[in-house]
Amino acid sequence: MDSYTKSVMAILGRHGYMACILAAAALGLLLPGPGGKGGALHLGALTHAGIMLVFFLHGANLSPGSLKAGLTHWRLHLFVQLSTFALCPLIGAAIFFGGRSLLPADMLLGFFYLCALPSTISSSVAMTAMARGNVAGAIFNATASGLIGMALTPVLMSLVMAHTAHPVSLASAITDVMLQLMLPFALGQLLRHPLLAWLARTRSLLTYLDRGVIVLIVHASFCDSQRAGVWSAYPAHSLALLVALSCALLLAVLLLTTWASRRLGFTREDEVAAVFCGSKKSLANGMPMANAMFVGDPAMGIFVLPMIVYHQLQLLVCSVLAQRYAARGATPLRAATGADTVLKETSP
């Protein structure tokens, strides 16, 4: 095997998940028939069942002790949750209501949806651990954020969707999310002890199942959007601006959370947890919630596009920041704002 092939294989190994998501989106655009609504693959029923199974296993896999371990750091918890569910939605609302002359309403709604999402669990904890931060606090906040988001994200979305062509009933949105996500999660918690031994033997199952369901949701949403002619309605410059806004959001939140955590006198360990948990957005929760709230809406592919862009970007940038935190204990943003830094560093 030559060096070029080895390099390609190494890249695929690190970014295989995102490659699958991009491939699913591209296939949905090129061949939308089988995966669309009413298509031969019946992805609607398959993804619905997959989502419920994933959240059942998430519930069974969550140890209550992981929450208790970080319970006492109330200032850190308040900071992270306000960053996730107040700071980001306020930025999203400013863009949503102030950017109507720049972007179509569906794109603005997708950007606000990104801002309203909870924090991600696995990468927040992994980055905090890599940067030698407060891991117990990161576990608590990332997990709590996901649980809070199941109720609060639909509430936030209902406030702005009333101003679009996609109005949604708040009660209906919360009910759909609770039935598809929270109810299976709660059942998993109730049946946790009988499943512990099986979960220990099949530790990688949840990761593969979780990612597989997300790939299917992406494919189905892009199929439906393509069949409805949604993508042809938007010029390339609008799509480019939407991507740029997603990048700008990450930079803004990283800057603000770093500055605020230092003004509040957080320890270095708490600052690490605050920056990583307060800036991330969950693709694992975002896709199932979108599937529940926007089911049957042909514009769903547009709604989830900012989230897909942000997910990959946060992994790249935050892995660089985590390495800088660990190696130097320096200001992470100052060390990683240059494009040359991003290109030189590799993601774990």
Helices 105-116 & 88-98, crossing angle to 10 degrees?
Answer: 170
Residue type, 197: A
Domain ranges in the chain? Answer: 23-344
233 DSSP assignment:
G
Q: Give the H or E element holding residue 94.
A: helix 88-98
Alpha carbon separation from 310 to 18, 78, 181, 251, 279 (Å, rounded): 12, 23, 23, 11, 10
Task: Tell me the CATH number for domain 23-344.
Answer: 1.20.1530.20
Place of tokens 């992470």: 332
How many Cβ atoms from other residues are within 10 Å of residue 218's Cβ? 29
Closest by Cα among 91, 70, 71 to 82: 91
CA dihedral 93, 95, 100, 104 (to 10 degrees): -100
Query: What does the pLDDT profile of the chain (348 residues) look like in tens digits?
Result: 555 444 444 444 556 777 888 888 888 888 887 877 777 777 777 888 888 888 888 888 877 766 666 667 889 999 999 999 999 999 999 999 998 888 888 889 999 999 999 998 878 888 888 888 888 888 889 888 988 998 899 999 988 887 776 666 667 777 778 888 888 888 988 888 888 888 878 777 777 887 788 888 888 878 877 776 766 777 888 888 988 999 999 999 999 999 999 999 999 999 999 999 999 998 888 888 888 888 777 778 888 889 988 988 888 888 888 888 887 654 455 444 433 333 333 333
Spatial contact of 182 and 156, defined as CB atoms under 8 Å apart: no
Nearest CA-CA partner of 76 in 136, 147, 156, 152: 136
What pTM does this model have?
A: 0.78
